[in-house]
Structure 1
Amino acid sequence: AVTAVPELSEQLSVIGNQSSANSEQSSIENRQSSIVNLQSLVSNLDPCPEAASLIQQAISQNAPTNLNKMGVICPGFSAELDGVMNSSAHAREWVANLEPRERERSGISSLKVGFNKVFGYYIEVTRAHSDRVPEDYIRKQTLTNAERYITPELKEYETLILNAEEQILTIERRVFTELCQQVSQYAQRLLKTANILAKLDVAAALAEAAAMQGYIRPTLNIENGLKIENGRHPVVEQTLQLERFVPNNICMDINGRIQIITGPNMSGKSTYLRQVALIVLMAQIGSFVPADSAEIGLVDRIFTRIGAHDELHAGRSTFMVEMVETAEILNHATHRSLLILDEIGRGTSTYDGLAIAWAIIEYLHNHPRLKPRTLFATHYHELVGLADLLPLVSNYNVAVAEEGDKVIFLHQIVPGGADQSYGIHVGQLAGLPRDVINRANEILVELEEHAPTTAVTPSQLNSVQQMALFPESSPLLDELETLDVNSISPLEAINKLYEWRRRYVDQKV
């Protein structure tokens, strides 16, 4: 029943502008009748029977879809329109009976009455019977094998019919405009009904999806965690035809805020990111969710940086758009936010992209205002080392099974970091020529053997490298160690400093 009233508010807007075809009026009538059936479900639902009755009386059941054709207004609704319609009907009936009457009067059995847009109504007689044409016929057009005639009486009825059509269209448009104005008086009541139906429609749709797809009721709390068991993507699982969707778990608590997810392309990282965001969103709008269980700490906002696109009209490259969106996230996220970041930094050089991605993770981890729940998918395997430096960071990857030179993506998120991207295998699956695949493997081996590593070990980051104030052995340092600072006056201390400065400068020269 709800599906019969999905566009009531939009139709009211169209009617308010008085520019709609009558099809909108008919649609509202049908929707009003459906509302009556829903009234028992919602106590304050107002079906507005006055508007429905008015439309039912005014609009024909078989009305055309626009006002450029006759037949929009029901007979009996407008006396003026009925008068013109009756006159037109009489004229049409006279023309319809003209052909048999003229055949009988003239004795010409092949006589025909026709109409075209150039000459209007005419009487056509073949040349073989031209000598039997009545005297009141006026020749209008000569054809190869026939003559076309008119009569003064035929032209009078023609004028009546053609003028009646224009009059009918004019009157119907005016009556329809007046009808729109009358229906607009009930706009507030109808809009209230439309809002109630919209909420009911959403609730019914979510309930149907939950029942059909096996969703469960999530638990929402004020904690700042996130635990989902066997979560599924609500859209992707419906598109799979010949394979089963692989569910995944996620667990975030106060001690685990940032998950770095590595793995090959096409393995399911982006689907995993999106399904977590969708499950959280569905839970907070009051829907059941596609999972076996879900405990969700309230989220104030969901921020996403997924996909690659440019804004050429604004002069922004793909990387610029990525950085602008990332800046928005970092400037507006809170500790209650959920961040979905997919391959940050991929739009620039490897070292720049890695540095930016590394710095963003550190910023999210260390900033006192942040520490949000974050899923960070990346192909920079060097970021895996952050889990050893930052206590709130953990590593996950997409499981892969290798059989000879083939790779099978299991789509399962498991703890730990990935050690390779399998990009060449993905290219093979995409259909790249065998020569390209073989050459790519050769080049990859050479690059791995000769390219310097970009990995940064924890020891390198933890060691604080600072220039020494003094060399390990220095006469100045020895003299400073033997100086009794408690026994010299301020003036002697200043003189000593000047002396040391002079000696140090002389030594440098």
Structure 2
Amino acid sequence: GNQEKGIIKKGYSVEVDKLRDVLRNGRQWILDLEEKEKNATGIKSLKIKYNKVFGYFIEVTKPNLKFVPKRYIRKQTLVNSERYIIDELKEYENTVLGAEDRLRKLEKNILEQIKNFIEKYIKDIQKTAAALAELDTLYSLGEAASLYDYVKPRMDAFSNKVRIFNARHPVVERAVGEENFVANDLILDSESNMIMILTGPNMSGKSTYLRQAALITIMAQMGSFVPADEAELPLVDRVFTRIGAVDDISSGHSTFMVEMSEVADIINNATPSSLIVLDEVGRGTSTYDGLSLAWAIIEYLSTSIKAKTLFATHYHELTTLENKLPGVKNYNVTVREMGSKIVFLHKVVQGGTDKSYGIQVARLAGLPPDIIKGAEKVLENLESKKGETQESIPNQNIMAKTNNPLPLTIYDVISEIKEIRIDRMTPLEAINRLDQIQSRIRDGFHDWGEPVARNQSPKNRSCK
């Protein structure tokens, strides 16, 4: 087949090289022969031509027939010329016309011979390949550790403590440069620091922090040095992650359905010896639904599974869980406010935060000033009436009671839109989210505190 064409290395077979040369340099060979015959016969108008009837031939005009040598064999007589062939030209023609087919067959036969030869030593070759692969892996890990200042982690099969100081993401650090990457500590155990709730604005580095924790755990357990100043880790049975937003169009599953399916798999399979990494679980649905699910998941992880968990979220209400559930600790990624602007410091510190800085991030992303001003006005109104439109977070086990759904208000809609992370959504996800919001609006909502009928046009909605 065509897959065998061109696979035999130059120099392995003289015949293969010759056929390739014929196919590659055929035109030049004809020109060289033509020049050679002109010099040999003295016939300057001599031409070598080709047609489908006679193949290759030498054409000589009538005035030059007296110079034609005896080795020329006449093939055809025309009005003004004669056509001849010679042995050298006929031999070349036979070579060229069947060269491609012969080359393909020849290469295939040589390949079969090589396969048959290698088959005798296949087990030895596989063992050698496996040894080289292992050596290559260990060498690469060792080289990375030496070049990038990795340290040897202390592994304790009987410990439940994670202590990593000045941890770095092995890939992101290389991409942004060592001088630009901000290292962070990670403290986890099965008692007072079992679940880390991590808050902070978009682009602050929450996902990088979560990923580096999972990567360092895996690297340490596979025998590698790790990117940190110091690391102490237990053995884990599995690392579970739910990071990023994807959908499954082929099976008709939305982003939120995929997210919940993956979380369900984690909940059903995790053990106290597992490491769980969850990034913004619940963001694919309405604010109330997402918050309720995130709350209940953290509660279940804390009281039932008791696995070491990192949970990044924009639901600042979850920070109250530190005082309600055992082993829950709040952390946040710091930013510096400079007037209406913010600077990302990428440093993880203990304590929660009640700000998302979504409008400031939107400004950094380049949204028009009119939109930014409008959003600030809406946010001001929303926060001033927050107490009128939202119940406080319950002070007891959220799974122990069921609350009636609150009436949807314009503040809820704006708040939900404000929290949407367009930079991390696919076009399909954005369309699905917009459809969800439109469906809720069609059911009617309270406009600035007053009910709006479906067939009534809201007034005075300008954010100016």
**TM-score (normalised: structure 2):** 0.75
| Pair 1:149 & 2:83 matched | yes
Q: In structure 2, which of residues 176, 200, 204 is the aligned counterpart of residue 240 of structure 1?
A: 176
Q: How much has 1:213 moved relative to structure 2?
A: 0.5
| Pair 1:226 & 2:162 matched | yes
Q: In structure 1, which of residues 102, 122, 139 is the aligned counterpart of residue 57 of structure 2?
A: 122
Residue type at the aligned position of 2:95? I
| Pair 1:274 & 2:222 matched | no
| Pair 1:292 & 2:229 matched | yes
Deviations 1:443-462 (CA, angstroms, capped at 9, x unpaired): 1111111233354153x559
- Note if contact 1:121-1:154 (Cα within 8 Å) is conserved in structure 2: no
**Which residue of structure 2 aligns with residue 161 of structure 1?**
95
Is the partner of 2:204 in helix, strand or coil? coil
Q: How much has 1:283 moved relative to structure 2?
A: 0.5
The separation in 2 between residues aligned to 1:401 and 1:333, in whole angstroms, is 37
Equivalences for 1:189-338 in 2 at 5 Å?
Answer: 189-222=124-157, 223-241=159-177, 244-255=180-191, 256-338=193-275
Equivalences for 1:333-352 in 2 at 5 Å?
Answer: 333-352=270-289
Q: How much has 1:60 moved relative to structure 2?
A: 2.2
Q: How much has 1:386 moved relative to structure 2?
A: 0.6
Deviations 1:307-326 (CA, angstroms, capped at 9, x unpaired): 11111111000000000000
- Note if contact 1:72-1:172 (Cα within 8 Å) is conserved in structure 2: no
Q: In structure 1, which of residues 373, 397, 406 is the aligned counterpart of residue 308 of structure 2?
A: 373
The separation in 2 between residues aligned to 1:409 and 1:164, in whole angstroms, is 70
- Note if contact 1:18-1:177 (Cα within 8 Å) is conserved in structure 2: no
- Note if contact 1:310-1:321 (Cα within 8 Å) is conserved in structure 2: yes
The separation in 1 between residues aligned to 2:18 and 2:260, in whole angstroms, is 57
Q: How much has 1:239 moved relative to structure 2?
A: 0.8
| Pair 1:184 & 2:111 matched | no
**Which residue of structure 1 aligns with residue 329 of structure 2?**
394
| Pair 1:426 & 2:346 matched | no
Is the partner of 2:139 in helix, strand or coil? helix
Structure 1 residues 347 and 117: CA distance shift in structure 2, 3 A: farther
Is the partner of 1:71 in helix, strand or coil? helix
Is the partner of 2:16 in helix, strand or coil? coil
- Note if contact 1:120-1:158 (Cα within 8 Å) is conserved in structure 2: no
Structure 1 residues 97 and 413: CA distance shift in structure 2, 3 A: closer
Deviations 1:415-457 (CA, angstroms, capped at 9, x unpaired): 1111110001110000000111010000111111123335415
Deviations 1:192-228 (CA, angstroms, capped at 9, x unpaired): 0000000000000011111111100011112112110
**Which residue of structure 1 aligns with residue 45 of structure 2?**
110
Structure 1 residues 191 and 427: CA distance shift in structure 2, 3 A: same
Residue type at the aligned position of 1:343? E
Is the partner of 2:346 in helix, strand or coil? strand
Give aligned pairs, total. Answer: 386
Q: How much has 1:100 moved relative to structure 2?
A: 3.6
Q: How much has 1:119 moved relative to structure 2?
A: 5.4
| Pair 1:71 & 2:17 matched | yes
Is the partner of 1:346 in helix, strand or coil? coil
Structure 1 residues 96 and 424: CA distance shift in structure 2, 3 A: closer
- Considering only CA atoms, is the larger Rg found in Structure 1 or Structure 2? 1
The separation in 2 between residues aligned to 1:426 and 1:198, in whole angstroms, is 45
Structure 1 residues 119 and 288: CA distance shift in structure 2, 3 A: farther
Deviations 1:2-55 (CA, angstroms, capped at 9, x unpaired): xxxxxxxxxxxxxxx9965674x76xxxxxxxxxxxxxxxxxxxxxxxxxxxxx
Structure 1 residues 182 and 140: CA distance shift in structure 2, 3 A: farther
- Note if contact 2:190-2:308 (Cα within 8 Å) is conserved in structure 1: no
| Pair 1:443 & 2:378 matched | yes
Structure 1 residues 226 and 174: CA distance shift in structure 2, 3 A: same
- Note if contact 2:202-2:356 (Cα within 8 Å) is conserved in structure 1: yes
Unpaired segments ≥5 residues, structure 2: 23-27, 402-464
Q: How much has 1:190 moved relative to structure 2?
A: 0.3
Q: In structure 2, which of residues 339, 343, 346 is the aligned counterpart of residue 411 of structure 1?
A: 346
**Which residue of structure 2 aligns with residue 363 of structure 1?**
300
The separation in 2 between residues aligned to 1:281 and 1:409, in whole angstroms, is 28
Is the partner of 1:362 in helix, strand or coil? helix
Q: How much has 1:235 moved relative to structure 2?
A: 0.6
Unpaired segments ≥5 residues, structure 1: 1-16, 27-58, 64-68, 74-84, 86-91, 466-509
Residue type at the aligned position of 1:60? G
- Note if contact 1:99-1:112 (Cα within 8 Å) is conserved in structure 2: no
The separation in 2 between residues aligned to 1:401 and 1:376, in whole angstroms, is 23
- Note if contact 1:258-1:375 (Cα within 8 Å) is conserved in structure 2: yes
Identity across aligned pairs (percent)? 44
Is the partner of 2:83 in helix, strand or coil? strand
The separation in 2 between residues aligned to 1:395 and 1:401, in whole angstroms, is 19
Residue type at the aligned position of 1:268? G
Residue type at the aligned position of 1:314? S
Deviations 1:82-120 (CA, angstroms, capped at 9, x unpaired): xxx9xxxxxx99996676456544x41232335577853
Deviations 1:347-384 (CA, angstroms, capped at 9, x unpaired): 000000011000000111111xx200100000001101
Is the partner of 1:288 in helix, strand or coil? coil
Q: How much has 1:254 moved relative to structure 2?
A: 2.6
Structure 1 residues 398 and 170: CA distance shift in structure 2, 3 A: closer
Deviations 1:473-503 (CA, angstroms, capped at 9, x unpaired): xxxxxxxxxxxxxxxxxxxxxxxxxxxxxxx
Worse overlay, 165-174 or 224-233: 165-174
Residue type at the aligned position of 1:205? S
- Note if contact 1:385-1:457 (Cα within 8 Å) is conserved in structure 2: no
The separation in 1 between residues aligned to 2:18 and 2:303, in whole angstroms, is 69
